[in-house]
Structures are given as C-alpha cells and as structure tokens.
A and B are shown apart, each in its own frame.
Chain A
Amino acid sequence: MKLAFVVQRYGADIAGGSEAHCRELALRLTRHSATPRHDVTVLTTCARDYVSWANAYPPGESRDEDVRVIRFPVRRTRRLRPFADLSDEVTDGGAPRERQDAWFRENGPDAPALLEHLAARGAEYDLVLFWTFRYATSYLGVPLVADRAVLLPTAEDDPIVRVEALEDFFRRPAGYLFLTPEEASLVSERAGTGLAPAATIGTGLEPVTAHADTGLLRARGIEGDYVLYVGRVDRNKGCDGLLGYFEAYAAARSAPPTLVLAGPAKMRIPDHPRIKALGYVPDELRDALVSHARALVVPSRYESLSIVLLEAWNHGVPAVVNATCRVLEGQVRRANGGLAYRSAAEFEAALDYLLANPRARDAFGRQGLAYVDREYRWPTVLARVDALLHEVRARRLRLQPDPGP
C-alpha cells in the first residue's frame, strides 16, 4: 500500500514518544524484510523543537533508509504567552468553538504547505496515518483526507482531551490505531460513539539479550537496593507526589532503599541522602539502571502508553505505578507485573512488599516479561497494524471504489 505518515516532527534525533513511534513503524513497514512491505512517505515539518516549532531541518524531500520524507516549513513559531492564555481559557470549559479551533492552530505546528499537500495530493495515498490528535497537523489535516485517514490519537486523560470540539474530530477518521485499551475507551467516550475499524497496537520492543554491567552503576555511586524513576523529573509527571511519598517512606524506616531519578529535572529535587538525581543518562547507563532496579516507579497521572514500564518488564523488573492513571493501572493489571498505589499508605505498602519478598518481586517481573513477549514484540505489533490498514482500505474501496484508469 502507498501510505502517508503525518507527524509533527520526524528524525532519528527527535526524543518524543509519538515521533519515535511513527519513525519505528515507518522504518519497519518499508524494510525489504517486511511482510508485507509498504511504500511510506512521511509528511512532516522542518521543526526539531516542540516548544517553539522553529525550523531546523531543510525543507523538501530526503530519505531515512527506505522511507521517503517530505518536510514542510513552519510559517511561524509558537507564541507562548497567547498560547498559555488560550490553554487556560479552553481547558476551563465553555469556550466557544472558534476559540477551541484557535487553540489547535496556536498549538501548531503551523505548516500550511503540508496541509496544501494533503488537500491537493492526499488522494494519491491509499491511507494517511496521523500521529497525535493535539497538534495542528492532525486536527486540521484529518478533515482534508477523512475518507482515508487513520488516527493514532496518543490521547491521555488530560484536560485538553475534554475539549468539546474533539467530539466531532474524533468521529472523522476512517480508522484508528490505539496504544492501549484505556486510550481506545477514552477516545470512544469523547467521540460519544464506538469507533471502528480500530486496533490496539501498543508499540514494539526487541528482546533484551544480556543484563548490563553493574560497574556503570558503581561509577555513579549507586550501590545497594534502589527503586528507579526514568523520565523528565516534572510535576506534570507526578514527581512532586512521588518525592513527597518517598521522603515520608524513608523517614519511617531504618534502612530504606535509594530512589534513583534518571532524567532531566524540571522541578526542585529535595536534598536527601536517599534520593539520587542523575539528570540525563545515556542509553547504556539507563539500561543498567533498569535491569538492576528492585522496582520501577511510574507516578504519572497522565499516560497514553508507558514505554518505560514496558522496558522495565522487558528486563524482568516489576513496577509500582500510580493507580489513578487508568492506563498504568490497566497495564499492570493485565500483565500482573507489579503493584498500583492510590495513596501514600499504599505506596509504602507496595514498596515494603516488593523489597521484602524477592520471590514475589521476581514473579511480577517474569509476568511482566511474559506480557511483553505476548503483546509487544514487533512481529505482533506489525501484524495488527497491517490487518487494520487492510480493513480500512477495503472498507473505503467498498464505499467509494477508486476510479479506473
């Protein structure tokens, strides 16, 4: 099939989750070994920075392995102050429809040439896949090719997903690819109807071949039992709650484990002998940290899919997650790969239990790994994607046969 992938940013050096998901799928669906193999064109912007959307890559056509990439320039960078005011207004509820539409335009990236390409040449593609509902490339692009649009919303239960305008938007695409069953329920609930055809695909992981050396950890002063947080240390990721809970936990115990934070800090981290903030860590150290952790902690309230949670299970490491996040609670329940907490008392009980019961800890880790083997290996993910794409295309052709030559 001839596919277009529309994504706000694209490149090997882009760190975002949805961008990485898009690129992995594009590369894997176009490789010679792929069965079946697809012809993928990525339609994206020249932006590298998701805050400003400033042009960084040259516009025009290039290749990423067998993927054709067409970059369109961003007309103007994001105006942060008006965007912040508009975000307050729109998430507050009751904003008129034109202000809601304005939020998506202001959120950007503002790439009119990309939208013109979709309007003029969208029908040349069998299907057009859009990543992330919240960006202008998807919000304004889906209606232009609605009969062949497949949306990967990457939606989480945050205030923006409650914006009224999305009720119409979520009904427009011809098909849907979701990351988790919870995301599928959330988007269906927002659309006010069941959404079909749809598939829940998650993402793919390669098996881990060997556990990393502990020497890397000792070099960073990490010895003994530790629980690990991986990602941006940010209030929006629930880190203020995690740090508060952990300080109370450590204060009440004579020999608590260390909480290791691996990721850039966007908030103040308390100076505490049992909290070790490493900042950004390279991949090799990150692997070593994950594979030797007693547990991974995921405190976020908003997730569409926690890839770091899957990575921990890929290493056979159990997880302790925030149960108020439906996605995390659902992932842990389905995998039986850890414990979910709703309060400080449950957080403490979960850590105590995992640290005091190595057999239970190993069992949770093994169950998590079995879940990843069952659901999140690339051949499984690609087969689900391919089946959905064929279903959407067949349905479109039934409704609207392609004109003959």
Chain B
Amino acid sequence: MSELRARVRERLRQQLLDHGGSRSFEDPALFADVERLLQTAADQTDSPALVLPELLGDPDAWRLRTAIRYDSHRPNAAGALRIFVKRRLLMPLLRWLFEYSRDNFERQRRVNQVLFACVQELAIETARLRQELQRRAPGRE
C-alpha cells in the first residue's frame, strides 16, 4: 500500500506543479513531509483533542449550529402558537431547503475541524523548531 501511496503522491505532486503549484513542491521529500503533516491533521478531527476550540471560548460565539431550535421570545399561548406554526406548518414546506443547507453546513463544520487540526499541527512544528533553535543558539552553549 505504501508503494501505491508513493506513486499516487508523486502523480499529485506533478499535477500540482503542472498547474502552477508552489515551486517548493519540486522537492519530492519536502512534498512528502507536507502531505504527511496535513494527513495527520486531517485524520485528527475529534474536537476534544484540539486546543484551538478551547481558546476560542464560548462555543455559542463561533461554532456552527446546524440544528433548528424552535423557540419564541413571546410568552405563553402566543409563543406556543408561533412555535406550532413554525414546526408544523412552515417546517414541512421548507424541510428540503433546511436539509440542503444543513448538509452544506455539516461539510463546512468538517472543513473547520480539519483546519483547526492543521493549524495545531503547524503550531506544534513551529514550537518544536523554535525550541530547537533556542537550544542551539550560541548563547546557550
């Protein structure tokens, strides 16, 4: 499998170069490193395992919400009537649109997760390199 993957990776690298991709990809070893790093990030999409969502604070302020919540600020019977109209009359008519939008938001949510993971992987690499540079700095010898 690794041999097949290497072949596919090489084909992809050539395609990217042919279509104006970064010249850095002329180095196959560097391209393999980049692909491995991004693949590690893409495989890690469980948000509790990521730092960035914790740093963004209250999830209500940034997280995509794909479920419809039926509520009304009006009290008692007026509110209940509005919820009934939304849930029982409007929603059946608009369900196709809701489901189309929800599917797209779900995809966006997955992309966000992958991007969070990519940023984390890059931050780890940067932090490691910074530590390595500091360790090798002449003043520390």
Binding site for B on A (CB under 8 A): 85, 88-89, 91-94, 162, 324, 339-340, 342-343, 345-346, 349-350, 353
A88 B4 Cβ-Cβ under 8 A: no
Total interface residues on B, CB under 8 Å, equals 21
Bound-state Cα–Cα, A116 to B67, Å:
34
Q: A345-B12, A349-B7 are in contact. Are A339 and B1 (CB under 8 A)?
A: yes
User: Chain A contacts of B65 at CB under 8 A?
Assistant: 92
Bound-state Cα–Cα, A353 to B68, Å:
47
User: Chain B contacts of A343 at CB under 8 A?
Assistant: 8
B130 interface residue per 8 A CB criterion: no
Q: How far is the CB of B111 from chain A (nearest CB, A)?
A: 14
A89 B8 Cβ-Cβ under 8 A: no
Which of B4, B39, B43, B102 is A353 in contact with, Cβ under 8 Å? B4
A92 B66 Cβ-Cβ under 8 A: yes
Interface SS of chain B: helix, strand, loop or mixed? Answer: helix
User: Chain B contacts of A92 at CB under 8 A?
Assistant: 65-67
Bound-state Cα–Cα, A247 to B41, Å:
29
User: Chain A contacts of B140 at CB under 8 A?
Assistant: none
Q: A88-B68, A89-B69, A339-B1 are in contact. Are A349 and B8 (CB under 8 A)?
A: yes
**How many A-B contacts are there with CB distance less than 8 Å?**
37
Chain B, Cβ-Cβ closest to A348: B8
B11 A340 Cβ-Cβ under 8 A: no
Give 1 or 0 for each of B75-114: 1 = CB within 8 Å of chain A CB.
Answer: 0000000000001000000000000001000000000000
Give 1 or 0 for each of B1-24: 1 = CB within 8 Å of chain A CB.
Answer: 100110110011000000000000
A346 B5 Cβ-Cβ under 8 A: yes
Which of A85, A91, A340, A345 is B1 in contact with, Cβ under 8 Å? A340
User: Chain B contacts of A345 at CB under 8 A?
Assistant: 8, 11-12
Most B CB contacts (10 A, CB to CB) among A92, A324, A345, A349 go to A92
Bound-state Cα–Cα, A405 to B1, Å:
62
Bound-state Cα–Cα, A349 to B3, Å:
10
B59 interface residue per 8 A CB criterion: yes
Bound-state Cα–Cα, A35 to B87, Å:
57
17 new A-B pairs (CB below 8 Å) besides A92-B66, A94-B60? A85-B68, A85-B87, A88-B66, A88-B67, A88-B102, A92-B67, A93-B59, A93-B63, A94-B59, A94-B63, A339-B4, A346-B5, A346-B8, A349-B4, A349-B7, A350-B4, A353-B4
User: Chain B contacts of A349 at CB under 8 A?
Assistant: 4, 7-8
Q: How far is the CB of B89 from chain A (nearest CB, A)?
A: 13
User: Chain B contacts of A91 at CB under 8 A?
Assistant: 67
